[in-house]
Amino acid sequence: MTFLRLDSLTKRFDSTVAVDHLSLSIERGEMLALLGPSGSGKTTTLRLLAGFEVPDQGQVLVEGENVTRVDPVARRFGMVFQHYALFPHLDVGENVAFGLESLGVSGEELERRVARALTLVDLAGFERRRISHLSGGQQQRVALARALAPEPRVLLLDEPLSNLDPSLRERTRREIRELIRRVGITTVLVTHEQDEAFDLGDRVAVLRGGRLEQVGTPEDLYAAPANEFVAEFVGRSSTIGVLVLGRTDRGVRVAVEGVEWNLTDTADSPPGPARMVVRPEALRLMDPTPGALIGTVTERRFTGAASLFTVLTEGGAALEVTGPPRSVMAGEQVGIMPSRRAGGGIHLFSRTVP
């Protein structure tokens, strides 16, 4: 039996549909990341799970139990808010104890469970510290300890790293990943950061306009996007109009600004107009020779082992291409061809009306 299920959840605010018939299944111990642009319904979905909002339609099921209209406390879900919601006038131990006390836990049992929760997040002995004396990362871990102390069935994380600076965010992300895997708790994470979703999520659900576009592993979303939105939203990519000419023995033949390319490992696309979404690593730079798409380098961004080049084609498309750091400079004319190791980095989406 699926541990946590969202069954056709729908939530409207006046004339706006924030969540639109959303269905998801989450297994015990899995971390699912909800990823999407602003207004995609991520936070509303989390609030429906937590019980802070009641859906207009649909159900929330935990191990087959319908908790759609159960009070938040009775659901036994733990939640870490975007701004942590810690009480500055209480010390660390009192903050962690707050949820336990509301459940009637007291005395030695309360002290034991507070100490256990702080040990889980590597803050053992911090009970009497003031919140104002903690770093941002430590405050985030106190919020996690408070959510875990009542031993919830499900952990909900609402943009938990958004208030941290980039270096601290990456380190804290690793700590959260290790902690949740060690505890083994079923977790739903809301984020607008792709790196965060890919690093933490066992699977990622991409939302747009309150609807589910695709759910799968990070590898699935990157290499086999279900539609053009997912292909463009996940990872770096460029989009250019092409004409699909037909199938070949190993793929499909397309015309790109008058140049014909043989593409491999693409989905079956009918002949006619299409949009080609291509990853930077699926293209290669070369001399401007016949068979290559001709363009001018407008920007070079150094990224370490490689550089990311922006090339403006003669037809007016801007394509990002990965190449050796100093292979070409801005202002140079270059040719572009599919990389010999393009793999799943090129995707075609037909513009032909069925």
pLDDT 10s digits, 197-254: 999 999 999 999 999 999 999 999 999 999 999 999 999 999 999 999 998 887 899 9
pLDDT of res. 343: 60
The set of residues, in sequence order, having a beta carbon less than 8 Å from that of 348 and lying 6+ positions away, is: 242, 244, 252, 254, 263, 266, 267, 269, 274, 275, 276, 277
Residues in the chain, total: 354
Distance CA 97, CA 93 (A): 6
Which parts of the chain register pLDDT below 70? 265-267, 341-343, 352-354
Helices (H), ranges, the chain: 42-50, 72-75, 92-102, 107-120, 136-148, 166-183, 194-200, 218-223, 228-233
Classify domain 236-350 by CATH number: 2.40.50.140
d(C-alpha 273, C-alpha 255), whole Å: 10
β-pairing verdict for 333-338 and 318-323: unpaired
Q: What is the pTM of this model?
A: 0.90
pLDDT of residue 351: 78
> Using one digit for the tens of pLDDT, what is the confidence trace for 38-64?
999 999 999 999 999 999 999 999 999
Query: H-type helices in 20-90, by residue range?
Result: 42-50, 72-75
Environment class of 331 (CB within 10 Å of its CB; exposed 0-12, middle 13-18, buried 19+):
exposed
Produce one character per residue of 242-269: b if its CB has 16 or more CB atoms within 10 Å, e if not: bbbeeeeeebbebebbebebebebbeeb
Domain ranges of the chain: 4-226, 236-350
φ, ψ of residue 28 to 5 degrees: the values are -60, 130
pLDDT, position 128: 93
Tell me the fold of 4-226.
Answer: Rossmann fold (3.40.50)
C-alpha dihedral over 31, 36, 42, 43, to 10 degrees? 110
